[in-house]
Amino acid sequence: MAALKYSRQRESIKEFLAARTDHPTADTVYTNLRKTFPNISLGTVYRNLSLLSDMGEIIKISTGDGADRFDGRTAPHNHFVCRQCHRVIDLNMENIDSIMDVAGKNFAGSIDHYVVNFYGVCGDCITKS
């Protein structure tokens, strides 16, 4: 049980994510943090993203389309992935947690979590076409 110690880098990563609503990849976090920490390494970014995500202070999003993305907004919500511009957008939708009950009906295991990603074309891309 490691006693977590303060680190300016970790704090900065958390702040960085909290301040954006897009969903940056580890590499984007790295590139931006270099402005504050010119010597920070990708390894450190990955280590801290992983730590923060384990602690539930950020969310890791796997879209199945390129690198994982990270979200500083921890309140439960779902994501939309644009197939055209590859952006990941927060959805402001009614709670659908009840799908866990539906899924659990004929299932022997225990379900405690789910991840939904919606796919299609985002508003901006539709306008531009």
How many residues does the structure list for the chain?
129
* Least distance CB 84 / DNA (angstroms): 17
Instruction: Give the Cα separation of 33 and 10 in Å (integer).
Output: 10
- We find the least distance from the C-beta atom of residue 97 to DNA, in angstroms, to be 26
Partner that binds at residue 18, options DNA, its own copies, none, CB closer than 5 to 8 Å by kind: none
Q: Taking the CB of residue 7, how many other CB atoms lie within 10 A of it?
A: 13
Using the minimum distance from each CB to DNA, give the nearer residue, 51 or 125. 51
- Up-side HSE of residue 13: CA atoms within 13 Å toward CB? 31
Closest CA to 60 of 51, 73, 69, 52: 69
Q: Interface mask (CB under 8 A) for its own copies, residues 35-74, using x and -?
A: -------------------------x-xxx---x------
- Smallest separation (angstroms) from its own copies to the CB of 87: 10
